[in-house]
Amino acid sequence: MAAGGGRDFPGRRWLSVVLRGAHLVAVIAFGAVLYGALHVPLAEYAGGAVLVGGVLLWLLDCWHRPSHLVEGAGLGMLLKLALLAGMLAAPQWREALFWLVVAWSAIFSHAPSSFRNARFLRQRVSGPRSG
């Protein structure tokens, strides 16, 4: 068990760092494609890469701390993933949704932990138990 009551495994932190870095690269590539950049490697996969990276990060965070499922940070990530799915499904809304997700991400990542970790759903989430 990790400090703070979550589950852990060797290398989880570095996996998270690498996934977040790759996700950021995918977000930048997707924004470049959105605005018509001509030389974006694998441009046709940028949107899918953002979605897959976001889902993987959300799953890793939820596995590490099951309470993430009902806290502001976890719910905020779900909202961002839903907006991204909307971008992929409704091209006419891509630009507006892209900037909404970027602004939401910037605000939410710098919000006080009392907000990010606040439980917005009152469901009980069971995590690992120590014997």
How far is 107 from 111, CA to CA, in rounded Å? 6
- Per residue in 90-122, pLDDT (tens digit) is 989 999 999 999 998 888 888 888 888 888 776
pLDDT band at 24 (very low <50, low <70, confident <90, very high): very high
- Per residue in 35-47, pLDDT (tens digit) is 999 899 889 899 8
pTM: 0.76
Q: Dihedral of the CA atoms 105, 106, 107, 112 (nearest 10)?
A: 100
